[in-house]
Amino acid sequence: MAARARMTQHVGRALEVLALMVVLFCVLTPSVAQAAASYSVLYRFTRGADGSQVVAPVIRATDGNFYGTTFNGGAYDKGVVFKLTPAGNLTTLHTFTGGADGHHPHAALLQAADGNFYGTTWSSTSSGGVGTAFRLTPDGTLTTLHTFMRNHDDGGQPQAALIQGADGNFYGTTARYGPFGFGTVFKLTPSGTLTTLHAFAGGADGAYPNSPLIRGTDGNFYGTTGHGGASSEHTGTVFKITPSGTLTTLQYSRQEPAGPIHTHPFFRAPTGTSMGRRATAAPRALGAVTASSSSSPRVAPSPRCTRSMGRMGPFRKPPSSRLPTRNSTGRRVMAARPTTVPSSPLPSPSP
């Protein structure tokens, strides 16, 4: 009887300890999760001189501040480049006028090895101009390095950020134009000399590259196109291109319920594998920059301004005929897409 009593006592104490652990878990888990997901708004754009519609990510510079662009707003409503301190103090470094400096920057900035920032604009009001590439000093002095021309082989309407190669030059893509009208991959020297490395023909090599390149450990560059490819679905490609311009198509997209449009950039995992994701939605709003306790500042658009990705990029909603359906076996499939690559120009996003 005494042994049974002692065993009962031990079991009771164990149950008490277990109950305490459960209580502590229930109390502490929400607090930890809430702390991990908490964020604060650093700055809200007003559509005034500070700009509006932040469509590109901000970057953190070597001085500890954050730098970014707005697609609209500013004194001329053509976008700005701004600096934001971790405390939320915003300084407008450059206001785009729509002249030789271009207008409507769509891509993130790049801080190069020389400490300056490099970027692109989506359009230009120069005769035949369809975008620019520029250099901006940390104090706000902007120099236009290149103006993309509609009827030239250099392409136009760049939508993706530049990257810097091991040779010190900059590499990027244009979403449209070029010899065949389907975009290009280009090299740009720091002094502004541009070389077209590849002009997309809209066939097996793909069409409309609108996401940034990445530089692999092998020294080559990797990217995606939103359309084209050998598949009759014209759902885009993954490609490799050497610094000298030799392009190899690595993979064609297949029709999948997740959708075929490649608009998000690749990234290189710690293992060296290139990874990416498909587009689902594109934010459009006045925007706000937020700081998370577990990540760098990010753009937080208004939900009411969110739009669906479309076949021509992040500005057109796909038709209902392209919504997933189920076949006789119950598997979700996509309706067939016309076998011709669309040639209409990219629509301009509205404020």
pLDDT over 50 at 317, yes or no:
no
What average pLDDT does this structure show over 181-194? 95
CB 160 within 8 A of CB 173: yes
User: Cα–Cα distances in Å, from 232 out to 199, 206, 239?
Assistant: 21, 12, 18
Q: Give me the pLDDT at residue 277, please.
A: 42
pLDDT over 70 at 185, yes or no:
yes
Cα–Cα distance measured from residue 160 to residue 55, given in angstroms and rounded to the nearest whole number: 11
pLDDT over 70 at 92, yes or no:
yes
- What are the tokens at 268? 């290189």
CA pseudo-torsion sign 142, 145, 148, 151: positive
Pick left, alpha or beta for residue 185 (phi over 0 → left; psi -120 to 50 → alpha; otherwise beta): beta
pLDDT over 80 at 209, yes or no:
yes
Q: Where are the domains of the chain?
A: 39-314
What's the pLDDT tens digit per position in 25-61? 554 455 544 555 677 899 999 889 999 999 999 999 9
Lowest mean pLDDT among 38-47, 112-121, 127-136, 257-266: 257-266
pLDDT over 90 at 97, yes or no:
yes
Cα–Cα distance measured from residue 272 to residue 38, given in angstroms and rounded to the nearest whole number: 31
39-314 to CATH, choices 2.130.10, 1.20.1460, 3.40.50, 1.10.4030: 2.130.10
